[in-house]
Amino acid sequence: MRPKVAFYWCASCGGCEEAVLDLAEGVLNLADAVDIVFWPVALDFKEKDVEEMADGEIAVSFVNGAVRSSHQLNMARLLRRKSKLVVAFGACAQMGGIPGLANLTTARDTLREVYGEADPPALEFRDNGHTLTLPKLFDSVFPLDRAIPVDYYVPGCPPSPKIVSDMFDVLLNGELPEPGAVLAPDHAMCDECPRRDSRPQELKLDRFHRVQETAIDPEKCILAQGVPCLGPATRAGCGSRCIAGNMPCSGCFGPTSRMRDYGGKALCSLASVVEGNEVAEIDRIFEGLVDPVGTFYRYSLPSSFLERKRWE
Amino acid sequence: MMSGVYGYFPGCSLKGTGVAYEESLLALFRALHLGLAELEDWNCCGATSYMSIDERDAFSLSARNLTMTQKAGHRDLIAPCSACYLALRKTQDYLDRYPKIAGGNGSLTSIRAVRVRHPLEVLYTDVGVERIRKTVARHWHGGRVACYYGCQTVRPYSEVDRDHDPVRMDELLGAAEIPTVDYSLKTKCCGGSLTGTTHDVGVRLVYILLKEAARKGAEAIVTVCPLCQYNLDAYQSEIRRSSGERLDMPVLYFTQVLGWALGAEIESLGLARAISGRKRIAQWFQPAEKEAYV
Amino acid sequence: MPEPFEPKIVAFFCNWCTYLAADLAGTSRIKYCPNAEVVRVMCSGRVDVQFVLKAFAKGADGVLIGGCHPGDCHYQEGNYKALRRYRLLRRLIRQMGIEDERLRLEWISAAEGDRVRAVINDMVETLKRLGPLQKSEEERAHLLEVA
Amino acid sequence: MSERETVRIGVYVCHCGTNIAATVDVKSLAEYAGLLPNVVLSRDYKYMCSDPGQDLIRQDIRDRQLNRIVVASCSPHLHEHTFRTALKVGGLNPFYFHMVNIREQASWVHENRAQATRKAKNLVSAAVQRVAFHQPLERGRVAIQPDVLIVGGGIAGIHAALTLANAGKHVFLVEREATIGGHMARFDKTFPTLDCAACILTPKMSAVRAHPNITLWTYSEVTKVDGYVGNYKVTVLRQPRYVDEDLCSGCLECIEACVYKQAKVPDDFNLGLSKRRPIYIPFPQAVPQVPVVDPETCIQFKSGKCKTTCIAACGDRHAINLRMEPKEERIEVGTVILATGFQTFDAHRVPYYGYGKYPNVYTALEVERLVNASGPTAGEVVLRDGRRPEAVGIVHCVGSRDENTHRWCSRVCCMYSLKLAHLIKEHTGAEIFNFYIDMRTPGKGFEEFYQKLLTERVHFIRGRVAEVTDWALDPTEEGKLVIRVEDTLAGFVRRIPVDMVVLATGLEPRTDAPEVRRLFNISCASEGFFLERHPKLAPVNTFTDGIFLAGCCQGPKDIPDTVAQAGAAAAEALALIDAGYLETEPNTAHVEEEKCCGCKTCISMCPYHAVAFVDEIHKSRVNEVLCKGCGTCVAACPSGAIRQNLFEDDEIFAEIEGVFSNA
């Protein structure tokens, strides 16, 4: 009989769900190959359907999105219990992702930002006999593996079709890789970059530009043009889609296995190739990097050493 | 700030024993078209017994004067009396090295920005030897003089001149055609307050200074400090009484001789207030006969 | 009563200047605060930004990087690399709510034993004023609670 | 960490007598260490660096199958090598070792025992965590080029050069002045034996000139140094002296022939006390015996309208070539000895002693020339006005032992002052007054010399001179220089009128010491003299392998000490050369090629061009011979593909974690 698989979506944009559909006709093969028992975004299953399954009944659960609410946490735990394998699918599940930038603030401030003067809704809401409880919003956003043990990681925002289909191949009919493995190559993406040969040997930057402020030469190394490109620090496997679109790498595929803090390492490397021996000049050059955290931790703040902004 | 207005802190001396210093200073600055605005409601500089009894009190006194300088909007504060100059400087120096003494919110530390100046150094730096040379209005027909700097304007917190071998007064007088002698005792003690406490020691120090100046062929001593001036000037008669030795050495302020050379009105130079060597002074400082001199 | 806050400093000293200066302080028996533990690297240029972040994450209240004076680097220009990384890292940790004073880069030559004392003592004083980088364990736990 | 065998760590805590034990609780430290992960054994011992201490390690390696060692003792700069050797002898790879510095950086700098011990515990736990990741490493070897560069041709450089040359090594001796000889060539006699400086120096100078193994370049300066121990590439700039050294026979007729009949130019060698011509030789015994033309003052250079009688005088030898250009020489040497010497303190900095103001105030060096038979006055000690002094005051410690100038004792001034006192008395019979703070005569025959002077009726007044002045209190002082001083033995202030004042100026680092230091990549101590690797154990070594120090560039010394040190430096160089190679530290960087993404970030990191980009494989590669092991490229590698031996990320992160284990 076909292996049962589940897809679930925590704090994320939905792009990862799209990524599965991006398999195009591949999806049909997939549908034939597996028995999808849970996929809220596409099929009408309920939480209780999962609860009713036996523990370990699901072969693989693909969970995308970060964990930032009590409900997401409960679902993650539920799926962990019911599944043999859990795959952190996409940058948010792997590192916290874009939602992870909320770790620069707190739940209270986030809600205040959203609801303004109006009070945020109460967690419990009663109406003629019925009670509706809203999930609690955590102060911090977490990568999936801070909530439950994770077997494999699939990087990307979103994961590229190639990565996804390769993933299904290994998980469904390949022999399983090392537990904890990231299902993508373990070198940086510069290696795959179509513009790699245009990077000069002795790169020295004397200013930085923001993408929207400069016309990027579509032939030349983007970093060499003074636009922060994180290709050198980012895991390969994305197929250089951003570069193809003449945009710099923003690091969604995350670190290689030899980096411990993605943003820290990326910053360390980038800061090494600027000009200037005087503080004033150096600071002037870095003015072009208006938002260091947003630049270097765009997808990985919750999985960084510091995890979140310090509590004031 | 050539033609700007300097804040002016007279201190007690320039209103008392050293009033000739104030008169000649004002006259000289007028002659050079330099503005001088006396600080309003100034108080004791703290150099007196305060400094030896409780430095903090002394600093507080100086600090008030400096604060008011800022209030008055002056960047520079001219303190002609060496003791005042030193006390104000020392206060700033201590604020630099021990910010804690500023106490409170540390707002007091801003008074370090006030530039405490001595007129000798103002003339040398802001006016300059060249301009003095050009401004000379009267030919010197007096004798050679010994430039005497005393101790406080040259060390330890001062920027007036080289601490062990000051030369600026010599250069300025030279530019004004006033011949000077090489005076080895230019920074030696004038007796200070010893003349009032251990009198005979103080007077002996005075005697040494006068004697050596005469030996070097000087016919007058020129000073930058009211206490030096007073000590050297006032005890010559006593020396004559005790040792029978007639010195009759005029002891003048550099502002008096420079003021004369640069054409300040003679009556306003306070020359009449001198005690010793009055005859010489009378000869030297006659109004220059109407010579067409530029 | 609770014992007074003793800040913890992780110090990355370069082998040729600052580490030797610390040795000199020792042979000169110069006394200074015991709050800094030194990790020796060959050159301040070896100090990876990750090291600094790790130290903060582990609970350092301050991190000190010591290198040779500009122009004096034993490896010619490693200290300039350190300086460039430091200037950008400073802005990053500021965004993360960590005060500038908690991260210091100091040039201390092999001859400046007393400067080791001055810098470390001064940093300890500053950190005592700033207080602990991480609030109580409970608070941090609450902040990073997973339900 | 591949195929990790079970880690068995041994921790050794050293008492260092009481140096550590007095402030750090070594017992509880050892106990604490014993409880740390992977630690199978921990001991404390009185002296770990002693033979028994090292044996302890060897035995435990054998008996307890230890495979990692941590020693908590002094600075690794002192004994890391000792203990690594112990591991090696014990049959363990020497780099399975980490050293914890709980002396220089704990017991000696902290007072509170509890706090010092806590810190020591953190450091030990850091080391224990770190050492678990250590890898076996092999030392590399660099061949040592046998030629030696010696910078500075004073007595230190000369002695070192001859020692090495006699041992059959080729020496390049580079001297900035037109002659070798340095300060010593200016002296008349040397203390305490009073033998004539020239008589002992000039034979050595000509030996240098004659020696087949010595290439002597005077009037030259080192301008560039590349490479590393064993293989230094050095550029020397040879200033034109306008007289060809190979063609000149040293007859000196050109000097006589100069159109200047009267010498007009102040003579530097005599410190301006005499005059020379535009073409001159510094002093009669100068080496090389070749004149120099000074373009500043030579008419031909200024106007081009000189009769150039000098060229005529040289005749068909054609040694004089006024169109001579500066020349660059490039040499390769294995080792370098710096003997760049000192300069004397500038007496103008203490105006109260009247130097430059009163003509009869001299510096000691000037007086050395006055008493010198070949000096400007042919040994006559006379004042500038030709009078013979009847009373002379010698002021000690000018620019020494003084908060306002230099705090150090210059070591030679007391003795040379005594020497000058003796010589001046001998030449003039004048009354001599020595003004000293303390009389410092430690040295063979020094104290005896002092005693001898006491019997020569030379006056000694203990007290730092306040001032030298022309201020006369009474007729006996008229026209004299008056020395005012507090006689601290008699307990009152003296005024002593003299005709001549000699300022015993101290020794200070040369003004350009900082540039020289950078050129050779060594350090200076706080007062500015070059820093030795260790004051006791490596006094002529520097922290840069293959570069040694001799003479006063390392600190004030007298001639005997200078010569001894020069010999020591030569011996250190010889030791390297004869070994033929030097073992290098293995802390170099290397690229994991399959991990390298070819981003080239590392290329611009390396000032030594040790990292190169290999286009064929589109990856970087480190040349481990060129790599000096700073690790800058490692920190810069964005994807962590470059690693550094002994400073692996794993090791450093473990160390950081370890520091917190006890906090």
DSSP string, D441-492: --STTHHHHHHHHHHTT-EEEES-EEEEE---SSGGGTTSEEEEEEETTTTE
Beta carbons of A97 and A299 less than 8 angstroms apart: yes
* pLDDT tens readout for residues A221-256: 999 999 999 999 999 999 999 999 999 999 999 999
Task: Spell out which residues of chain B touch residue D469, defining contact as CB-CB under 8 Å.
Answer: 184
Write the DSSP symbol of residue D436. Answer: E
Chain-centre distance of CA D318, in angstroms? 41
* pLDDT tens readout for residues B115-124: 999 999 999 9
Task: Spell out which residues of chain D touch residue B162, defining contact as CB-CB under 8 Å.
Answer: 351
Beta-carbon contacts of residue A273 (< 8 Å; ≥ 6 apart): A203, A204, A205, D601, D604, D636
B162: nearest CA partner in chain D: D351
CB of A204 within 8 Å of a chain D CB? The answer is yes
Buried b (16+ CB within 10 A) or exposed e, D617-642: eebbbbeeeebbbbbbbbbbbbbbbb
Distance CA D206, CA D209 (A): 5
D112: nearest CA partner in chain C: C34
Residue A298 falls inside a structural domain: yes
Please provide the average confidence, as pLDDT, over all residues in chain A: 93
Does B3 have pLDDT greater than 50?
Answer: no
Beta carbons of B13 and B152 less than 8 angstroms apart: no
Which of A182, A186, A189, A191 to mutate to probe the D interface, most D CBs <10 Å?
Answer: A191
Distance CA B43, CA B39 (A): 9
- Does B242 share its domain with B152? yes
- Does A94 share its domain with A161? yes
Hey, is D51 helix, strand or coil?
A: helix
Identity of the highest mean pLDDT range in A273-282, B99-108, D564-573: D564-573
Which of A101, A261, A268 to mutate to probe the C interface, most C CBs <10 Å?
Answer: A268
Q: Which chains have at least 3 CB atom pairs separated by less than 8 Å from chain D?
A: A, B, C
Residue A289 falls inside a structural domain: yes
Paired tokens of D50: 């002693």
For chains C and B, having 3+ Cβ pairs within 8 Å is answered no
Q: Point out the residue among B164, B182, B212 whose CB comes nearest to the CB of D352.
A: B164
Buried b (16+ CB within 10 A) or exposed e, D426-462: ebbebbbbbbbbebbbebeebeebbeebeeeebebbb
Which of D590, D617, D637, D639 to mutate to probe the A interface, most A CBs <10 Å?
Answer: D639
Is there a contact between B185 and D471 if contact means CB atoms under 8 Å apart? yes
Is there a contact between A261 and C91 if contact means CB atoms under 8 Å apart? no
- Does B61 share its domain with B174? no
CB of C80 within 8 Å of a chain D CB? The answer is no
Domain end residue (candidates: B119, B152, B180): B119
Task: Spell out which residues of chain A touch residue D612, defining contact as CB-CB under 8 Å.
Answer: none
Question: What value does the mean pLDDT take over residues A42-55?
Answer: 92
The domain over range D9-138 is classified in CATH as 1.10.3470: no
CB of A173 within 8 Å of a chain D CB? The answer is no
CB of A220 within 8 Å of a chain D CB? The answer is no
Position A76: which residue type? A
- Does A162 share its domain with A65? yes
Does D645 have pLDDT greater than 60?
Answer: yes
D607: nearest CA partner in chain A: A202
Distance CA B41, CA C36 (A): 53
The domain over range C9-143 is classified in CATH as 3.30.200: no
At residue C147, the pLDDT reads 43
Identity of the highest mean pLDDT range in A126-140, D529-543, D567-581: D567-581
Q: How many CB pairs under 8 A join A and C?
A: 109
Which of B165, B184, B185 to mutate to probe the D interface, most D CBs <10 Å?
Answer: B184
pLDDT band at A159 (very low <50, low <70, confident <90, very high): very high
Distance CA A205, CA C140 (A): 39
CB of A206 within 8 Å of a chain D CB? The answer is no
Is there a contact between A267 and C88 if contact means CB atoms under 8 Å apart? yes
CATH number for the domain that contains residue A163: 3.40.50.700
Residue (of C79, C140, B26) closest to A277 by Cα position: C79
Q: What is the CATH number of domain D589-644?
A: 3.30.70.20
Min distance C118 CA to chain A CA atoms (Å): 22
Is there a contact between A296 and C92 if contact means CB atoms under 8 Å apart? yes
β-bridge pairing D9-14 and D39-45: parallel
C46: nearest CA partner in chain A: A268
Q: Which chains have at least 3 CB atom pairs separated by less than 8 Å from chain C?
A: A, D
E strand intervals along chain A: 4-9, 35-38, 58-64, 67-69, 83-89, 124-127, 130-133, 137-142, 152-154
* pLDDT tens readout for residues A127-147: 889 998 899 889 899 999 999
A263: nearest CA partner in chain D: D638
CB of A284 within 8 Å of a chain D CB? The answer is no
Distance CA D546, CA D564 (A): 19
Domain residue ranges in chain C: 9-143
CB of D605 within 8 Å of a chain A CB? The answer is yes
* pLDDT tens readout for residues D154-181: 999 999 999 999 999 999 999 999 999 9
Domain end residue (candidates: B60, B88, B119): B119
- Does B14 share its domain with B61? yes
Distance CA B188, CA B235 (A): 17
Q: What share of chain A is helix, strand, coil (3-state, %, to 5)?
A: 40, 15, 45
- Does A50 share its domain with A148? yes
Residue (of D199, D196, D193, D195) closest to D452 by Cα position: D193
E strand intervals along C33-145: 36-41, 62-67, 103-107
* Cis peptide bond prior to B156, omega within 30° of 0: yes
Residue B58 falls inside a structural domain: yes
Position A298: which residue type? R
- Does A151 share its domain with A47? yes
Beta carbons of C18 and C106 less than 8 angstroms apart: yes
Hey, is D398 helix, strand or coil?
A: strand
- Does B132 share its domain with B72? no
pLDDT band at D1 (very low <50, low <70, confident <90, very high): very low
Distance CA D339, CA D516 (A): 11
* pLDDT tens readout for residues B197-209: 999 999 999 999 9
CB of D618 within 8 Å of a chain A CB? The answer is yes
Residue (of D568, D431, D575, D586) closest to D497 by Cα position: D431
Identity of the highest mean pLDDT range in B272-286, D496-510, D617-631: D496-510
Min distance D653 CA to chain A CA atoms (Å): 10
Question: What value does the mean pLDDT take over residues A195-209?
Answer: 92
Domain end residue (candidates: B119, B150, B171): B119
How many other C-beta atoms lie within 10 A of the C-beta of residue D34?
13
At residue C138, the pLDDT reads 61
* pLDDT tens readout for residues D235-269: 999 999 999 999 999 999 999 999 998 889 999 99
| Alpha-helical runs (H) found in chain A | 15-21, 26-33, 47-52, 70-82, 91-95, 107-115, 144-147, 161-168, 241-244, 262-272, 279-286, 292-296
Question: What value does the mean pLDDT take over residues D349-372?
Answer: 96
At residue D609, the pLDDT reads 85
pTM for the complete prediction? Answer: 0.79
Residue B91 falls inside a structural domain: yes
- Does A127 share its domain with A202? no
* pLDDT tens readout for residues D481-523: 999 999 999 999 999 999 999 999 999 999 999 999 989 988 8
How many alpha carbons lie under 13 Å from residue D280 in its C-beta half-sphere? 25
CB of C92 within 8 Å of a chain D CB? The answer is no
Task: Lowest mean pLDDT of A99-103, A164-168, D452-456, D586-590, name the range.
Answer: A164-168
pLDDT band at D29 (very low <50, low <70, confident <90, very high): very high
Distance CA D120, CA D115 (A): 9
Beta-carbon contacts of residue D208 (< 8 Å; ≥ 6 apart): D153, D158, D161, D162, D173, D180, D214, D216, D287
As for how many domains chain A has, the answer is 3
Residue D72 Rama label (left phi>0; alpha psi -120 to 50; beta): beta
Residue (of B121, B66, B118) closest to B95 by Cα position: B66
Cα distances (angstroms) measured from residue A201 to each of A17, A166, D591: 40, 34, 16
Min distance D643 CA to chain A CA atoms (Å): 10
Residue A311 falls inside a structural domain: no
- Does B67 share its domain with B125? no
Percent of chain D residues topping a pLDDT of 90: 91
Residue B61 falls inside a structural domain: yes
At residue D544, the pLDDT reads 87
Paired tokens of D387: 């009078």
At residue C57, the pLDDT reads 93
Q: Point out the residue among C23, C49, C71 whose CB comes nearest to the CB of D75.
A: C23
pLDDT band at B292 (very low <50, low <70, confident <90, very high): very low
Beta carbons of D120 and D24 less than 8 angstroms apart: yes
What phi, psi does D28 have (nearest 5°)? -65, -30
DSSP string, D213-243: TEEEE-SEEEEEEEEETTEEEEEEEE---SB
Does D2 have pLDDT greater than 50?
Answer: no
Beta carbons of B169 and B123 less than 8 angstroms apart: no
As for how many domains chain B has, the answer is 2
How many alpha carbons lie under 13 Å from residue C17 in its C-beta half-sphere? 30
What phi, psi does A232 have (nearest 5°)? -60, -25
Residue (of A134, A155, A135) closest to A144 by Cα position: A155
Min distance D627 CA to chain A CA atoms (Å): 18
- Does B38 share its domain with B88? yes
Percent of chain A residues topping a pLDDT of 70: 100
Domain that holds residue B173: 121-284
D611: nearest CA partner in chain A: A201
Residues paired with D150 in a beta bridge: D173, D337
Does B293 have pLDDT greater than 50?
Answer: no
* pLDDT tens readout for residues A61-80: 999 999 999 999 999 999 99
Residue A115 falls inside a structural domain: yes
Distance CA D207, CA B291 (A): 77
What phi, psi does D224 have (nearest 5°)? -155, 140
CB of D604 within 8 Å of a chain A CB? The answer is yes
How many other C-beta atoms lie within 10 A of the C-beta of residue D304?
9
Residue B178 falls inside a structural domain: yes
Instruction: Return the CATH superfamily for domain D342-508.
Output: FAD/NAD(P)-binding domain (3.50.50.60)
Write the DSSP symbol of residue D33. Answer: H
Please provide the average confidence, as pLDDT, over all residues in chain D: 95
Paired tokens of A202: 């002795």
* Cis peptide bond prior to D192, omega within 30° of 0: yes
Q: For chain C, which residues score pLDDT lower than 50?
A: 147
Q: What share of chain D is helix, strand, coil (3-state, %, to 5)?
A: 30, 25, 45
Task: Spell out which residues of chain D touch residue B164, defining contact as CB-CB under 8 Å.
Answer: 351-352
Chain-centre distance of CA D556, in angstroms? 10
Domain that holds residue A273: 189-303
Is there a contact between A73 and C147 if contact means CB atoms under 8 Å apart? yes
CB of A72 within 8 Å of a chain C CB? The answer is no
Which of C58, C75, C77, C96 to mutate to probe the A interface, most A CBs <10 Å?
Answer: C96
Paired tokens of A134: 């809203």
Task: Spell out which residues of chain A touch residue C85, defining contact as CB-CB under 8 Å.
Answer: 267-268, 271-272
Residues of chain D with CATH 3.30.70.20: 589-644
Task: Spell out which residues of chain A touch residue C104, defining contact as CB-CB under 8 Å.
Answer: none
C114: nearest CA partner in chain D: D526
Q: Which chains have at least 3 CB atom pairs separated by less than 8 Å from chain A?
A: C, D
CB of A189 within 8 Å of a chain D CB? The answer is yes
Which of C75, C117, C121 to mutate to probe the D interface, most D CBs <10 Å?
Answer: C75
